[in-house]
Amino acid sequence: MADVFGTIRSVAGQVARVEVESENSPFLLEILTSPQDSSVILEVYWQSGSTCYCLVLSDIATLYRGLKVIGTGSSIKIAADESLLGRIVNLFGQPQDGQGALAPQKKLEVYSKTPPLNVVSKSYELLETGIKAVDFITPVLKGDKIGFIGGAGVGKTILITEIIHNVTQKYNGLSVFAGVGERIREGQELYQRLSQARILNKTAIILGQMNENAAVRFRVALAAASVAEYFRDVLKKDVLFFMDNMFRYVQAGNELSSLLGNMPSEQDYQPTLQTEISALEDRLTSTKNGSITTMQTVYIPADDLTDPGVSSIMAFLDTAVVLSRSVAELGLYPSLDLVQSSSVNLSRIIIGDEHFNALVQFKQLLELYNRLSHIVTIVGESELSAWDQVLYNRAKKIINYLSQPFFVTEMQTGLQGVYVPRQTTVSDIKLILGGKFDNIPADKFLNTGSLQEAKF
């Protein structure tokens, strides 16, 4: 007989109240199941006396009052090893792609501790994305945490999918994709794109989409982190960790907090907001065994960057790629907000003198452009001085140049995708800043690759 056993007394939404009848009590986060139905999965979240409040991780329709449950003596584990590469699985490592059963040799704890400081490592190797705006404005290092931040419909998922396409083909390591609370079709599209690009065999996909309950969506990000840690620590590989969407992870935690009756904090967020984010983000770090480079989309509710949930996530990021609705409305993709996007890597030591000097010069020109834009809107460009007109148009040409067609949107746009090396982007922008293309209209720079390939 199991050491822990009891009976379900009530089920409210995704929370089941269990009366413990054994002498031993379950530990926090222990999984309970039913001897009559092994598909029942409950996770002990909180205990008061002989009463346990459990999160329902399985189909809620299988639960009823009076159902007997027993302890398993274990927390959530995801069945995973190298066999996960090229497959789509759920929170428990069960295949979701219709490609047959998996026979993994290992089970990984979903909950693990942050690596100790004596094994944490930092790399200063630049990771090229082939996307001009990202490589020039917000350069990325291997092992960084990068957030693609924006409201609905500004191209977050498209941008992260393009980076998956560009980076993983040249990358020697492995990739993990965590789908947290996003659309089901996006998981299907990602699977098809990775398959067509012939990089699926280097990627593990763990999904907890928006049709899943909040408890599953909340835990699936932790399960994906465990897989990334296995690739890093056991296989000693460099890992690319993609997550779409980090805000949905926060949102799922908020839903669970409300269900459990916790007192809300600022703007109705859960009081454990910072702890929950750090429990995930702090695990996704580089060690002496290998690196984990994290790229995550972050949804902004009501386009409000000061939202506490978004601000809490941004505190953990090395690079914030902010996507703007006003830029997207101009037809400029990727729709980077060139002012609000930022990176900790903007130093001469990391990106080199040439890139740093070009970026500083462009930032100064962009500030002038934004001031002149107000005048142009009111009285027209012709009212500017001759020199101001020249500078205004140079800035406009660089802004247009930083747009580019993507490989993953070729079917929708009819434009062939391009990959532009970072050094080429820097050299091209230097030429524009130097006035070499002053006689060419700004519109000619839209959706181009390098200037050498552009048809003027």
pLDDT in tens, 350-395: 999 999 999 999 999 999 999 999 889 888 888 889 999 999 999 9
Ordered by start, the domain boundaries in the chain are 5-75, 78-345, 351-445
Q: What CATH number was assigned to the domain covering residues 351-445?
A: 1.10.1140.10
Tally the C-alpha atoms within 13 A of residue 330's C-alpha that lie toward its C-beta: 17
The owner of tokens 């009052």 is: 65
pTM attached to this predicted model: 0.91
Tally the C-alpha atoms within 13 A of residue 235's C-alpha that lie toward its C-beta: 23
Q: What CATH number was assigned to the domain covering residues 5-75?
A: 2.40.10.170
**Residues 227-276: pLDDT tens digits?**
999 999 999 999 999 998 899 999 999 988 888 888 888 778 899 899 99
List the structure tokens of 36: 């009559």
d(CA 183, CA 336): 23
pLDDT at 99 (0 to 100): 85
How many C-beta neighbours within 10 Å does residue 64 have?
A: 8
CATH topology of domain 78-345: Rossmann fold (3.40.50)
More confident residue, 50 or 182: 50
Query: Which residues are catalytically annotated?
Result: 156, 182-183
d(CA 153, CA 250): 20
Angle (CA) 101-91-228 rounded to 5° is 95
Q: Are 196 and 223 in contact (CB under 8 A)?
A: no
Mean pLDDT of the chain: 90
d(CA 180, CA 163): 18
What contacts 415, CB < 8 A, 6 or more positions away? 405, 409, 447
Q: Are 200 and 174 in contact (CB under 8 A)?
A: no
